[in-house]
Amino acid sequence: MASFRYFTGPMDCGKSTLALQIDHTHTAGGRRGRLFTSRDRAGEAIISSRLGLRRPAVEVHPAFSFWGYVVDQLSAGARIDYVVCDETQFYTPAQVDDLARLVDELDVDVFAVGILTDFQTHLFPGSRRLVELCDSMEVLQVEALCWCGRRATHNARTVDGLMVVEGDQVVVGDIEQLHDLEPGGEEPAPVAQAAVVAYEVLCRRHHRARLTRSAAQAGLAETLPFGTTEGWEGQQ
């Protein structure tokens, strides 16, 4: 019987590596699957891991239909035993509903991998739907670390090196031209064109204190009223 499994964790905890590993394991076992991703760091239609592995995948745009895609493939005589879905935080709730339907009505195993919460610590809409619908949810054991050495559990966004807590939920970092990628939005609007957007994982304490690694190194910590520098001094 097929199942709907959700694997989650913050950035930098090996999620894409896991997605590729799941696909490899099932392919080696003689099963046939399809890979999906959305806005991977390597570009469209590729799943890439920080360890250097990469595989072609189907790009999931806001209007993409998992149900339509799989039914078309099956109708054309293809075999699909499972799907591996990476970067699921960018999927719409309707697409997640579609994934559950694949499990229940077509007996296709679904492995969903993605981030749970955004840079403001709120659930992504697609991630919320995954929590609501999946058969099992697993928090990845490969743990990312904050600069202080604690477990990194929260994603921080920086603009030109400074942590921000306001802005659109989805802004992809590390690209030349930055755009508002709001699902279903109209013309992409340039967002702070010259700004460099990046992400960093922090422990909850340092996310709340807005203290990134570079801010801590710059000595800003000393000017803040909370006891946020403990742990960091030991790292020098």
Kindly state whether residue 154 participates in binding Zn ion, applying the rule CB under 5 A.
Answer: no
Would residue 182 show up in a list of annotated catalytic residues for this protein? no
Inter-residue contact 21 to 53 (CB < 8 Å):
no
Instruction: Report the distance separating Cα 41 and Cα 50, nearest Å.
Output: 9
Instruction: Report the distance separating Cα 156 and Cα 118, nearest Å.
Output: 8
Q: How far is the CB of 36 from Zn ion (least distance, A)?
A: 33
Residues making up the annotated binding site are 170-173
Distance of CA 233 to the CA centre of its chain: 31
Within 188-217, which residues bind Zn ion (CB under 5 A)? 203, 206
Helix then strand count (H, E) for the chain reads 6, 11
**Contacting range for Zn ion; rule: CB under 5 A; set: 82-90, 111-119, 140-148, 160-168:** 140-148
Q: How far is the CB of 166 from Zn ion (least distance, A)?
A: 21
Among 83, 99, 148, 156, binds Zn ion (CB under 5 A): 148
Q: Which of 87, 187, 230, 233 is catalytic?
A: 87
Instruction: Report the distance separating Cα 108 and Cα 99, nearest Å.
Output: 9
Within 2-21, which residues bind Zn ion (CB under 5 A)? none
Inter-residue contact 199 to 157 (CB < 8 Å):
yes
Q: How far is the CB of 152 from Zn ion (least distance, A)?
A: 7
Note the residues at the interface with Zn ion (CB under 5 A).
146, 148, 150, 203, 206
Catalytic positions, please? 87
